[in-house]
Structure 1
């Protein structure tokens, strides 16, 4: 990878940090799952920047970056879904487990990409169902961002696309909650 690619990918990770920072700063609830997706992307953005600029810092952030990359794939969407279904303890737990299991396997060195893709696909389908049931257009956009991030960009050799599509997904996910708050405020009026 050339120096220009590293700089561009570092900038894409900074964009991801900026997008996720808004989500982390807007987390006001006592639930650990709501800031989970945003914090996950924020940390991944920081580690991505450090990884692609590691030559400048004379440090190797490869292992930390690979771990955060797996976390951004396996844990972010389940945290979002667990928060959306926080009123239903069984669904909330099922969504969290759907991310924890492939991530734990990856941590143990037994990464199973097929299981991970299946769990991500189940979360995307659940998000589509949630979006349809609640007429939440931002949920549909988040699902599309997840498909782009997790199924399309991993096949593209240019490393800049993954953090950029995560940024799109993050923006849409943040809006899922804002559109719910806007709808609740309109009902109270």
Structure 2
């Protein structure tokens, strides 16, 4: 068989013949014939045909014409910032790419979560929470800082008074030592003069 025979239309099957939908847990990029597994944190369920639009929800693609009348999974991929279509939605967690669970009370789940994150205090997270409610922490922190600043402001005069007393005691002790050493020098001079 020659090279020209291999590349003829008769030996290369058309991609549109006998198309099947993309399998659960995979995504099938447009223009490729292979299925790629969805990564952890993704939610790749089978799409459902919307009769009014003719598109497969939630992926927004049309079914390939022919004998196939069912939707597959995702047909395109995008990063977590630009799309909500493929990743596990906020307030839910997806332990696998085909299962989605609501986030429980006392836990929070961000977009693309594979498990629930425990809240520091149970009552800061309600069912299907996207993030922990930190308002209470902020109020407590502001109250503590205000109390400390008020305490420092009110007690600063007391601290200064204590510091002045401590430094005056230190000066008095130093003066006594100087007086003792001066008296000892005087006695030494007297003793020296008596001997001479």
Q: With structure 2 as the length reference, what TM-score do the two structures score?
A: 0.20
Greater relative CO (CA pairs within 8 A, separation 6+): 1
More strand by share: 2
Q: With structure 1 as the length reference, what TM-score do the two structures score?
A: 0.20
More helix by share: 1
